[in-house]
Amino acid sequence: MDLDLVRESIGPLLLGTIRGTIPLTAFSFVGGMVLAVLVALARLSAVAPLRWLAQGYVSIIRGTPLLVQLFLIFYALPSLGITIDPFPSAVVAFSLNVGGYASEIVRAAILSIPRGQWEAAETIGYGRALALRRVILPQAARVAVPPLSNTFISLVKDTSLASAILVTELLRKAQEIAAPTFEFLTLYSLAAVIYWVLCLVLSIGQGFLERRLGRHLAPQVAKVEKVRQEMA
Amino acid sequence: MSRVHKTAGTLAIASLTLALAACGGGSDGDDAASDVIRVGTEGTYSPFTFHDTAAGNELTGYDVEVIEAVAAELGREVEFSETQWDAIFAGLEASRFDVIANQVTVNPERQEKYDFTEPYTVSTGVAVLPTGSDITSVADLAGLTSAQSATSNWAAVARESGAEVEAVEGFTQAVTLLKQGRVDVTLNDNLAVLDYLNTSGDTDVEIAFEVGEPSEQAFALRKDSPLTAEIDGALQTLRENGTLAEISERWFGEDVSG
């Protein structure tokens, strides 16, 4: 380990993280979640073609490698006359990818809410949309936090693949510095540590979010949760 | 701390220890003792090292044949590991292979870190531009964006000419980006570019001008590798008996072995 190189590299690597990795993750996750909710609702809809469309989309996303999805959007679309810059290309690809995976989480979370909740909402005069918004989704959100956190944390590391389509994020910065110096071990190790710290921060955030969303639970449920957390 | 927690902790430490122990199984670089020469190469850089779809998809090319001839001369087997260019020196250092056969240009920075054999290719750098471009000399490269493998000598040449380097995996990607108008230029070995233009029939890009001095390409090895002298001896023999010239003639129609 060359300590001088570590000191010199930290700055550019953090810059790559702040300018590349973090915005790439944030935009893609937001875009992906909007898609996920829409696709989940389409899959639960009474309109058959909508269901098929959503199923087809999820199947394609889950059935093809993320790197291939990135390459298709970046390298193949130009032959159809659509040329998108590296960063937006990556955001589009990652949003589509997160949308496919997260839609299944959202769908399962909605289905996990007992039917009685729908009926209760109906008795106080809520229509389907209102029931979904005020009764079902808030409860489903709590269920979805742990699996969605998984998706989010995976996405942080998946953004490293964008280095292959010329997006200057953390990994590409590391490669840039390593190229003239040949210090790959040092630079990749540093990048790994930065990814890890990012994911640690997110895991802590997940804990807070779970406690916050769980604050309206009945006392005995909260107790069971508490015991469970101690066991884990 | 609960019992569950303790057990989990023990398991985690045990598995980590196992994983680390498993990682320690590399060769310790005793190159001369084994009768296999382990060679690192891209396998995607035509006509030097590539898979010929017309010939059963075998790994072939000028560099591949030269190192095979060297090994035959030394009475050894060759074992190829294919890896992308930017990981090739890391692979050499990590003893995943002992020799790089991939048109490695000899330059002072590399000579500080690695051993080089006698050169077996002499070539010139060229700038590849969209056909009919008004960029006509190295002086025009300043401020342009050039697509190069990050660790290639062409990347260094591009930087020295004042161009911004956009790092890509290899020549194929560089040409794709050039044709899509995402970069302005790419620099590479004249032999590689000529071969690409001939085999693809691509007329969208052309060789615009030469860049820098002729350079020499050789096999790269770890510092103080006992193999270097052996390969040099074999290259000397192959040069004298005309084998090198013959291999070169077959791939390039001329003798580029220097």
- b vs e for B73-94, b when ≥16 Cβ sit within 10 Å of the residue's Cβ? bbebebebeebebbbbbbbbbe
The A-side interface with B (CB below 8 A) comprises: 75, 78, 83, 164, 166, 172, 175-176, 178-180, 182, 184-185, 230-231
CB contact under 8 A, B167 and A164: no
- pLDDT per position as a tens digit, B184-193: 999 999 999 9
Interface test with B, best of A74, A79, A171, A182 (most B CBs within 10 A): A182
Which residue range forms the structural domain that includes residue B229?
31-122+215-252
Identify the DSSP state of B106: P
- pLDDT per position as a tens digit, B82-117: 998 988 998 999 899 999 999 999 999 899 999 999
Q: Is residue B4 part of a domain?
A: no
Does residue B235 share a domain with residue B115? yes
Cβ-nearest to A231 among B2, B109, B168: B2
- Residues paired with residue A32 on neighbouring β-strands, in sequence order: none
Q: Is residue B10 part of a domain?
A: no
CA distances for B211 relative to A86, A231, B134, B159, B208, angstroms: 28, 66, 16, 12, 10
Q: Is residue B170 part of a domain?
A: yes
Strand order of the β-sheet with B59-60 is B44-45, B49-51, B59-60
Q: Is residue B100 part of a domain?
A: yes
Q: Is B23 on the interface with A (CB under 8 A)?
A: no
The pLDDT, as a whole number, for residue A232 is 65
Could you tell me which of B89, B143, B129, B150 has the C-alpha nearest to residue A173?
Answer: B150
- pLDDT per position as a tens digit, B207-238: 999 998 899 999 999 999 999 999 999 999 99
pLDDT at B75 over 70: yes
User: In chain B, which residue's Cα lies nearest the Cα of A185?
Assistant: B90
All residues of chain A having their beta carbon less than 8 Å from the beta carbon of residue B7 are none
Q: Is residue B7 part of a domain?
A: no
CB contact under 8 A, A166 and B113: no
**Rounded Cα gap, residues A223 and A225, in angstroms:** 5
Does residue B234 share a domain with residue B115? yes
Terminal-to-terminal C-alpha distance of chain A = 36
Query: If you write DSSP's letter for every residue of A41-101 in order, what string do you get?
Result: HHHTSS-HHHHHHHHHHHHHHHHS-HHHHHHIIIIIGGGGT----HHHHHHHHHHHHHHHH
Q: Is residue B15 part of a domain?
A: no
> If you search the block for the tokens 């591949």, which residue do you land on?
B64
CB contact under 8 A, B180 and A83: yes
Does residue B176 share a domain with residue B132? yes
pLDDT class of B30 with cuts at 50, 70, 90: very low
- pLDDT per position as a tens digit, A216-226: 665 556 666 67
CB contact under 8 A, A179 and B2: no
Cβ-nearest to B167 among A78, A176, A185: A176
CA distances for A217 relative to A95, A142, A145, A194, A210, angstroms: 32, 10, 15, 36, 11
**Rounded Cα gap, residues B209 and B127, in angstroms:** 6
Q: How many percent of chain B have pLDDT more than 90?
A: 70
- Six-digit token string for B91: 């692979």
CB contact under 8 A, B166 and A166: yes
CB contact under 8 A, A175 and B86: yes
The pLDDT, as a whole number, for residue A11 is 94
The structural domain count of chain B equals: 2
Could you tell me which of B181, B177, B178 has the C-alpha nearest to residue B206?
Answer: B178
Query: CB-based contacts of B87: which residues, under 8 Å, 6+ apart?
Result: A184
pTM: 0.74
- Six-digit token string for A159: 């953004």
Alpha helices in chain B (DSSP H): 3-23, 62-74, 88-93, 108-113, 153-160, 171-179, 190-200, 227-240, 243-252
**Rounded Cα gap, residues A160 and A162, in angstroms:** 5
Size of interface A-B (CB pairs under 8 A): 40
Does residue B222 share a domain with residue B111? yes
Could you tell me which of B230, B246, B255 has the C-alpha nearest to residue B73?
Answer: B230
Q: Is B176 on the interface with A (CB under 8 A)?
A: yes
What's the mean pLDDT in A32-48?
96
Query: CB-based contacts of B188: which residues, under 8 Å, 6+ apart?
Result: B125, B126, B128, B154, B171, B174
pLDDT at B19 over 80: no
Q: Is B169 on the interface with A (CB under 8 A)?
A: yes
Provide the CATH number for the domain around residue B176.
3.40.190.10
The pLDDT, as a whole number, for residue A220 is 58
Does residue B192 share a domain with residue B89? no
Q: Is residue B114 part of a domain?
A: yes
pLDDT class of B53 with cuts at 50, 70, 90: confident
Q: Is residue B236 part of a domain?
A: yes
- pLDDT per position as a tens digit, B142-166: 999 999 998 888 999 999 999 999 9
Min Cα–Cα distance to chain A from B87, Å:
9
User: Lowest-confidence range among A34-38, A134-138, B10-14, B44-48?
Assistant: B10-14
CB contact under 8 A, A166 and B167: yes
Average pLDDT, chain B: 87
The pLDDT, as a whole number, for residue B70 is 97
CB contact under 8 A, B2 and A172: no
